[in-house]
């Protein structure tokens, strides 16, 4: 479960040299007023502007357990994905955004996990990728999701490569062999030190009658920023790829 303002702050912090524009899906607020806090920090999605950007990120959303077809703005997201495919700009998909994009482009199915995958874990690099340059085996990253993409389908699809998994086999990153500008990230590496704690507290506050899993390998009282190096390295790598792609496209 995500906080829109915090999400914007996090991406602004991890991409300090980028000139960022934030959008929200129009269909999400169809026939209702856009909340003031949303209107103040973001714009309604304008797919006609996709060609203006050098890179595009689709973030997570707290809708892991909802079928894609039941997401009110799924068709708007699919139109956006179609436009991104047309212009070949660098694309980074996070968590639910990665699930929706991988389902649209490759037909990979989403599977609901028995319990929330939540905490901080070491990872194994299984297929090297430019975005992982500088990260060593065992690199640390956080996860917070209720679903996973079907790994068997991914492994049987020659268009896709699993680049890294956690020590329990959960996906960290999948890249597209047929479209190297597409990368799917299942970890919330944009999160700050307190983000897992804040997410846990938001869930407890929203539904105090439910029992929620606490994040593993992470202290709610004295959290540590164990994935800071992963965050810095990964986003620096992606920003460099965006700059290189821009030079190629401009040429």
Binding residue ranges for substrate: 116, 202
Distance, CA of 179 to CA of 160 (rounded, Å)? 9
Closest alpha carbon to 176 in 245, 241, 105: 105
Structural contact between residues 247 and 25, judged by C-beta atoms closer than 8 angstroms: no
Binding site feature residues: 116, 202
Among candidate residues 2, 148, 181, 190, the one labeled active-site is: 190
Eight-state DSSP code of residue 80: H
In terms of Cα–Cα distance, which of 205, 206, 209, 137 is closest to 167?
A: 137
Count the helix, strand and coil residues of the chain and give each as a percent rounded to the nearest 5. Answer: 40, 25, 40
Strand partners, 139: 123
Active-site option among 95, 148, 199, 241: 95
**SS3 of residue 117 by DSSP:** strand
Residue 95 annotated as catalytic? yes
SS3 of residue 142 by DSSP: strand
Residue among 2, 123, 143, 188 flagged as catalytic: 188
- d(C-alpha 32, C-alpha 194), whole Å: 32
Is residue 188 flagged as an active site residue? yes
Look at residues 161, 84, 148 and name the one whose alpha carbon lies nearest to residue 115.
148
Instruction: Give the C-alpha separation, 172 to 188, whole Å.
Output: 9
**DSSP structural state of residue 48:** G
160-166/171-176 β-pairing: antiparallel
Report how far residue 231's alpha carbon sits from residue 91's, in angstroms, rounded to the nearest whole number: 17
Q: Supply the residues annotated as catalytic.
A: 95, 188, 190
């Amino acid at each position: 479960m995500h906080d829109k303002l915090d999400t914007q702050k996090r991406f602004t912090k991890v991409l300090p040299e980028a000139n960022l524009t934030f959008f929200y899906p129009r269909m999400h607020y169809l026939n209702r007023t856009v909340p003031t806090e949303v209107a103040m920090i973001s714009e309604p999605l304008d797919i006609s502007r996709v060609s203006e950007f050098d890179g595009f990120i689709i973030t997570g959303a707290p809708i892991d357990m909802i079928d894609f077809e039941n997401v009110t703005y799924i068709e708007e997201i699919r139109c956006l994905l179609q436009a991104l495919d047309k212009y070949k700009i660098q694309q980074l998909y996070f968590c639910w955004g990665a699930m929706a994009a991988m389902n649209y482009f490759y037909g990979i199915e989403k599977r609901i996990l028995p319990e929330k995958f939540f905490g901080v874990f070491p990872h194994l690099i299984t297929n090297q990728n430019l975005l992982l340059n500088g990260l060593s085996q065992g690199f640390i990253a956080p996860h917070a999701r209720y679903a996973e993409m079907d790994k068997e389908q991914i492994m049987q699809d020659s268009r896709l490569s699993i680049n890294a998994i956690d020590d329990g086999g959960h996906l960290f990153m999948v890249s597209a062999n047929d479209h190297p500008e597409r990368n799917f990230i299942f970890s919330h590496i944009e999160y700050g030190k307190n983000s897992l704690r804040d997410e846990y507290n938001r869930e407890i506050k929203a539904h105090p009658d439910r029992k929620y899993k606490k994040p593993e390998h992470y202290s709610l009282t004295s959290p540590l920023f164990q994935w800071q190096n992963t965050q810095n390295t990964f986003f620096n790598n992606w920003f460099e790829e965006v700059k290189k792609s821009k030079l190629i496209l401009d040429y």
